Amino acid sequence: MTPENSPSPGTVDASALGLIPAPRTLTAAAAGPYPLGYRTPLTAGPGTEGVARWLRATLGPPTGLPLPEGDGTGTSAGDGSGRGSTGQGIVLELDDALAPEGYRLAVEANAVRLTGGTAAGVFRGAQTLRQLLGPDAFRRAPLAPGRTWEVPPVVVEDEPRFGWRGMMLDVCRHFLPKDDVLRYLDLLAAHKLNVFHFHLTDDQGWRIEIKRYPRLTEVGSWRSRTKYGHRASELWDETPYGGFYTQEDIREIVAYAAERHIRVVPEIDIPGHSQAAISAYPDLGNTDVVDTTALSVWDTWGVNPNVLAPTDDTLRFFEGVLEEVLELFPAETSPFVHMGGDECPKDQWKESPLAQARIAELGVKDEDGLQSWFIRHFDTWLTARGRRLIGWDEILEGGLAEGAAVSSWRGYGGGIAAAEAGHDVVMCPEQQVYLDHRQDGGPDEPMPIGYVRTLENVYRFEPVPPGLSEEAARHILGTQANVWTEVMQNRARVDYQVFPRLAAFAEVAWSALPAPADRDFAAFDARMRAAHYARLDALGVDYRPPGGPYPRQQRPGILGRPLEGEPPVV
């Protein structure tokens, strides 16, 4: 049942269960509720073994139930009795008649049967099963050992609207340790999101170990101080700041994501946003214009003028970087590699004799063409290695590489142009789904940035712009919420900006909702209050409360950059 529908005979009140995102159909089962006990077996059909491992590891701590391996007949391995009211227990199986991420969860007389089109579909259904057990199923230890756990009598049939349901996390402006990244993968999985865009390099820090270029992390991952607040703020944190992920960390993160059926999109941002790399290897910069040996990792925010030099040596350097990146992010988990391409000022290229000679040599029109040459080179390079390039919508300038996909961030316009030209698009307009933007217009919002984007605003976001041709609409891969961390110094600040809005975004990305104006936000809000805030509490998420920030979440006197009025639709 969608949140817009009222309960009727044979249906279940979605508000009471608080399922988020809302499933396509939610009806009453003929049997149930289904009790889970100490002997309740968990039977994993072929191809679902990984989901069974996740269920045991996730539900075991809060319930105290071992969910022993079953044989599908109601007998748990090693039990031998075959007795008890739990019958066949929880049964996982595949059915290729379902959509790849679709699932059916049915409470029957002798089983809770969870069927998916693929293992990913079973995993999405397992998230629903966890929600059906109540908020305490999201804890790490039992609150009341020996309590009764039961699955309510429901049948859920569900599948996602979009194949790309993502969140981008910037770990360059402020670094999140590995364990915090793993935690965010769990939070994405809990909301049925399936793409983690990992923004790993920028002016303010290089966060991924590249063994052939050790100075990228020895030098490029550390800055001497950090701007506190918006870049116009007069405040500084004078503590040296930095951090990076070792290659072993990256492998662990990627494997953890794969177990949760989340694709990881690594981002290596070129040719702009590159001062951290240039500070480590000065020859990467425009040495005929600026003394690049004097550059350090940038300590403030904004658009940086120091960009990569358009040389063959620069290309070879980043090919070396990408060779290691591709090894760390295998194609099964990371078919896309994000190459940035955004906010690349052309002033140094205009002043550089070398860059001007390159423009003439390549026969491109201007500096935009030079940026396009960068992106086209790596599009060809990645394609030859079985990957796809994706970049921010500035890669349209100067001509888009043939196989490239576009992250449309400056509004809808870039995505519309790319889709109409036959390119795949991920819609992530900053005016709608940049979660660093403030959540309220009141004076207590910490370091307020951008337009007000409330929980309801995000719930009414529509990824497919009106007027897009039917053929072009097929190129909308999906949507993504972006989290830029200039004013998010730690995990708690990230939590505050991301939640609860990520729950609304997840429903937009997953559920078959009506047009934005017709969406029943009151029903969504009721489901949040009925159960989902309690789930976030159990998970330790430091979200923004509906009534406004707690005093400890406020940052009075720290300058932000609030923008007034409704954001433009561009």
What is the spatial distance between Cα 184 and Cα 196, in angstroms, rounded to a whole number?
Answer: 9
Which secondary-structure segment (H or E) carries 478?
A: strand 476-483
Going by their DSSP bridges, the two strands 263-270 and 336-340 should be labelled as: parallel
The residue among 354, 209, 171, 343 whose CA lies nearest residue 274 is 343
Task: Clarify whether 108 is annotated catalytic.
Answer: no
Identify residue 155 by its one-letter amino acid code. Answer: V
**Rounded to 5°, angle at Cα 316 from 310 and 318:** 85
Coil, strand, or helix at residue 304?
coil
The pair of three-digit structure tokens given for residue 454, joined into one six-digit string: 């409330």
In three-state secondary structure terms, 278 is: helix
Neighbour order of strands in the sheet with 154-158: 25-28, 154-158, 103-107, 111-116, 89-94, 42-44
DSSP assignment letter at 530: I
Q: How far apart are CA 562 and CA 453, in angstroms?
A: 11
Expressed in percent and rounded to 5, the helix, strand and coil fractions of the chain are: 35, 20, 45
Alpha helix ranges (H) inside 434-490 = 455-459, 470-473
Residue 410 near residue 429, CB atoms below 8 Å: yes
According to DSSP, the β-strands at 25-28 and 154-158 are antiparallel
Tokens linked to 272: 């702009």
| Contacts of 232-241 spanning 24+ positions with Cβ under 8 A | 232/559, 232/561, 233/558, 233/559, 234/559, 235/558, 235/559, 236/299, 241/175
Q: Which residues make beta-bridge pairs with 154?
A: 28
Asked if 375 and 394 count as a contact pair (C-beta separation under 8 A), the reply is no
DSSP state of 33: -
Structure tokens at 243: 């951090």
- Which residue in the list 101, 158, 170, 202 is annotated as catalytic? 202
- For every residue of 388-444, DSSP letters joined together read EEEEEGGGGTT---TT-EEEE-S-SHHHHHHHHTT--EEE--HHHHBTTS-S-SSTT
Please give the Cα distance from 206 to 437 (Å, whole number): 24
**Residue 146 exposed, middle or buried by CB count within 10 Å (0-12, 13-18, 19+):** exposed
**Please, which residues bridge with residue 266 across strands?**
198
Distance CA(225)–CA(557), nearest Å, equals 20
Catalytic residue among 343, 444, 462, 537: 343
Asked if 202 and 279 touch (Cβ cutoff 8 Å), the reply is no
Question: 179 an active-site residue?
Answer: no
Q: Which candidate in 174, 273, 423, 437 is catalytic?
A: 273
Instruction: Tell me whether residue 273 is one of the annotated catalytic residues.
Output: yes
The residues assigned a catalytic role are: 202, 273, 343
